[in-house]
Amino acid sequence: MNIRRVFNRKDRVKPTSSEHAQYLRRTRQVKAMVVLLRVSIFAGVFVLWEVAARLGWMDAFVTSQPSRAFATAMNLARRGELAMHLGYTVGETAAGFVLGTLMGVVAAVFLWWSPFLSRVLEPYVVVLNSIPKVALGPIFIVWLGTNVNAIVAMAIAISVIVTVMMVYAGFREVDPNKIKLLRTFGATKLQVLQKVVIPSSIPVIIAALKVNVGLSLVGTIVGEFLVSRAGLGFLIVYGGQVFNMSLVMSSVILLSGVSVILYYLVSRLEDYVVKWRQ
């Protein structure tokens, strides 16, 4: 019983020295300063933009201004159109992101599984990566029609090749000694893939996800430029055609917000995976 009391008393004592406490304080101060500077820069850009437009330093008809962009977004929300356009863009981006990532990972697995197949297809992967994906838009339109399928196909085309190259490169950089060890104990190739290759390549796969979330959004917007009748890309094109720069700027700001949220979700997934691995 006395031993328990001693351990409980030790648990209640903070094992931090004054130097460590000072280090933690400085760390918190740096984090707070970073957040403050981020918010200040963000707010400063919009304040400067608004002031410059009001004082005539820039032509508000060409550049619009934050107050007009906000009013335009609120007008769309009151008419019930904002949620629809956001839903189209987010849904198409999510579909392209998930499908592009899955297809890229599966293709990378096939390339790792067969070195002969990898040597045969490597130049074709390089060629596909070098082709401007915007040039594939008319092909998708002819093949799939002027609908959501063409937009999702554009998002997949932009993200899948990058996924293949990044994940396959991660597979090839796995420690060969670990693979030899499993082979020595009689592990099959599937077991090597499950136990060593994929777990060791998780950081690379997460990095590919972070890249893909932006590329999928780019592909979605390009597709909406070409064929869509709804979505943020459609609003940008339509606003440019009717010289409504407030609509264009509000759509661009909303698009930036969507990209930040999607990237944040992937970052949260990374934190969860890191904790799970630990």
Return the CATH number at 241: 1.10.3720.10
Q: Please check whether residue 72 lies inside any domain of the structure.
A: yes
Q: Answer yes or no: do 184 and 216 share one domain.
A: yes
Q: Answer yes or no: do 226 and 252 share one domain.
A: yes
CA-nearest of 42, 34, 33 to 257 is: 42
Q: Answer yes or no: do 219 and 85 share one domain.
A: yes
Q: Please check whether residue 1 lies inside any domain of the structure.
A: no
CA-nearest of 31, 69, 67, 41 to 253 is: 69
CA-nearest of 233, 238, 234, 247 to 61 is: 247
Q: How confident is the model at residue 13 (pLDDT cuts 50, 70, 90)?
A: very low
Average pLDDT over the chain, rounded to an integer = 85
Q: Answer yes or no: do 205 and 81 share one domain.
A: yes
The phi, psi pair for 88, rounded to 5°, reads -60, -50
* pLDDT of 31 strictly over 70: yes
Q: Which residue range forms the structural domain that includes residue 94? A: 63-277
Q: Answer yes or no: do 136 and 78 share one domain.
A: yes
Final residue in a domain of this structure, among 22, 38, 58: 58
Q: Answer yes or no: do 21 and 82 share one domain.
A: no
Q: What is the number of structural domains in the chain?
A: 2
| 148 Ramachandran zone, left/alpha/beta (phi>0; psi -120 to 50) | alpha
Q: Please check whether residue 3 lies inside any domain of the structure.
A: no
Distances (CA, A) of 119 to 123, 126, 167: 8, 12, 16
Q: CB 252: neighbour CB atoms within 10 A?
A: 16
The mean pLDDT of 94-103, rounded to a whole number, is: 92
